[in-house]
Amino acid sequence: MVLVRQALPDSINPADVVGTVWDSDSRKQGVSLPSAITLLVISDETIARLGLTHLLSSEAGLEVRGETSSDDAIQQAAKLRPDVVIVFAEATRPSCVRLIGSIRKEIPQAGIVILGRETHHAYLGLLLAAGALGYVLLRATPRELFSAIRAASRGRRFIDPNLSEELYELLARQAESGTKLLSPREQQVLTMLAYGHTLKEIAVRLNISRKSIETYRARIREKLGLRTRADVVRYALETGMLNVETERRA
């Protein structure tokens, strides 16, 4: 028996039909063509959002169902119910992490892919812990983005290959445990550091020695990779640690 492989229809991506033989009578033979992966693009920067939409629409096997700002993201996600949601991390405020969690709650079956510039593992770990399946750097190629989307549509994780193996392992660990990496006391110290308290002030308020506070700070840095005060503040913001009630309890 001789099998003849003919050209695939324009709407079919060869990567999605590996091992499948197509011919001109495939529909007559009852063979179903793969359905397109449906997408929702989220960004608060209009030009970036429309540019990405144009890029994704040009790729066979992908269908952009909508594009929106973070303000309407949850409503659009619930309405369109896409297979994959793509979020611009830097262009989604006030919190990309909280947005991811809300999307996951609304459409848990959807994969979430993040586009961003950030390579700091503490922040990326938050994104994965919140429910993102993929993270792609903005300097990545379109092909890498398409690969991340296809992986997410199948429930698989995709981390930008330009990130180090060590970072990948740390991300995976943080994705499993998130802020549970920190003890209650470490979380308390982290919050107070984020609010700008000095080590001496924290020691006085918690009624423990300054040396103990230094030890807690060192553990926090080791566990989360927070090297600067800016890292601490951003982490606290993204996890919701920075608020008036938290400061009153600290």
Q: Which residue ranges make up each domain of the chain?
A: 37-178, 182-249
3-state helix, strand, coil in the chain (%, to 5): 50, 10, 40
How much is the pLDDT for 57? 95
3-state secondary structure of 39: strand
Q: Taking 50 as the threshold, does the pLDDT of residue 230 lie above it?
A: yes
3-state secondary structure 49-100: HHHHHHHHHCCCCEEEEEEECHHHHHHHHHHHCCCEEEEECCCCCCCHHHHH
CATH code for the structural domain at 182-249? 1.10.10.10
Percent of the chain with pLDDT over 70: 72
Task: Output the average pLDDT for the chain.
Answer: 78
Residue 226, exposed/middle/buried by CB under 10 A (0-12, 13-18, 19+)? buried
Highest averaged pLDDT of the listed ranges 80-84, 169-173, 193-197: 80-84
Q: Give the lowest-confidence range in 13-17, 32-36, 179-183, 228-232.
A: 13-17
Give per-residue pLDDT as tens, 27-47: 344 444 568 999 999 999 999
Gap between the Cα atoms of 127 and 213, Å rounded: 28
Q: Give the lowest-confidence range in 15-19, 94-98, 197-201.
A: 15-19
Mean pLDDT within 66-86: 95
How much is the pLDDT for 95? 77
Gap between the Cα atoms of 33 and 12, Å rounded: 8
Computed on alpha carbons and rounded to an integer, the radius of gyration of the chain in Å comes to 22
Confidence band of 5 (pLDDT split at 50, 70, 90) = very low
Sign of CA dihedral 135, 139, 140, 143: positive
Local structure of residue 143 (DSSP, 8 states): H
- Cβ pair 214, 156 in contact under 8 A: no
Give per-residue pLDDT as tens, 134-190: 999 999 999 999 999 999 999 998 988 888 665 666 655 555 554 456 788 888 898
Mean pLDDT within 57-64: 95
The domain made up of 37-178 has a fold known as Rossmann fold (3.40.50)
Task: Give the residue with greater pLDDT, 9 vs 181.
Answer: 181
